[in-house]
């Protein structure tokens, strides 16, 4: 059996994936934004091993989440599930002065990937909207352009794929992949989302623990366990290097081989 960390697992797809994994006999560590949410997460997923807490919109707290994880020991897989939807109308700044969407969706998985003891498998949740993301990586902070919530979210989902493929390139001994769960009726997806909620958590679980040949791959992008086309920029080493350099600049955390 495997030991898996799932970020953003107090509700939604993260909680659903955790429930599936625990039912299959795996050890699962949850993550929630604060202790109250952590207690709720543990109650919602009976059999979960533990919960780590921290607000992933804040760089210092994200670093502390990684420290909590490492104190628990090594993991076989990390599912980077935590994310927020987009906000139209205005740029919401974090305490670090970054756009809320970028801080949680893009920068926090970078920091955690850098600082958590390297697992055997990395799984990043993206979205089909990543294909609308901007591969130029200009002005990630949205300081010099008019805010567009949809574009900021699409950019962040492209960043997830870039990060997954960079980790696969830098760490050939790790299976690192990304996926889109579909537009489903979670709190973030909304009640009118058309895709299957039942199917939505299954691919990340499969990539985290399955020994099927289809799951033992790296630098791939999936939808419902099937390979799906990806924005070509995500596979471009120059784009990957530029994104990693920007994340290091903004977080002060270095990605080491």
Residue positions annotated with a catalytic role: 153, 157
d(CA 121, CA 235): 19
Three-state SS for 52? strand
| Three-state helix/strand/coil letters over 77-92 | EEEECCCCCCCCCCCC
Q: Given strand 221-223, what is the order of strands in its sheet?
A: 50-53, 27-32, 3-6, 77-80, 121-125, 175-179, 221-223, 226-227
Q: What is the largest CA-CA distance in the chain?
A: 49
């Amino acid at each position: 059996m495997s030991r898996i960390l799932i970020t953003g697992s107090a509700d939604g797809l993260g909680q659903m994936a955790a429930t599936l994994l625990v039912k299959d006999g795996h050890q699962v560590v949850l993550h929630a934004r604060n202790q109250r949410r952590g207690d709720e997460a543990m109650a919602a997923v009976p059999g979960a091993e533990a919960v780590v807490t921290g607000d992933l919109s804040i760089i210092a707290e994200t670093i502390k989440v990684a420290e909590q994880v490492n104190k628990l020991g090594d993991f076989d897989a990390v599912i980077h599930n935590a994310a927020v939807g987009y906000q139209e109308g205005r740029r919401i700044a974090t305490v670090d002065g970054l756009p809320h969407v970028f801080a949680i969706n893009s920068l926090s998985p970078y920091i955690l990937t850098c600082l958590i003891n390297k697992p055997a498998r990395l799984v990043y949740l993206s979205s089909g909207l990543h294909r609308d993301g901007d591969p130029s990586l200009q002005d990630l902070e949205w300081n010099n352009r008019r805010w567009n919530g949809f574009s900021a979210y699409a950019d962040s989902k492209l960043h997830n794929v870039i990060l997954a493929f960079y980790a696969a390139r830098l760490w050939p001994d790790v299976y690192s992949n990304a996926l889109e769960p579909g537009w489903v009726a979670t709190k973030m997806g909304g009640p009118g989302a058309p895709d299957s909620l039942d199917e939505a958590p299954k691919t990340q679980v499969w990539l985290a623990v399955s020994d099927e040949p289809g799951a033992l791959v790296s630098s791939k992008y999936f939808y419902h366990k099937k390979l799906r086309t990806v924005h070509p920029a995500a596979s471009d080493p120059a784009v990957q290097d530029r994104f990693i350099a920007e994340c290091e600049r903004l977080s002060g955390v270095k990605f080491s081989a």
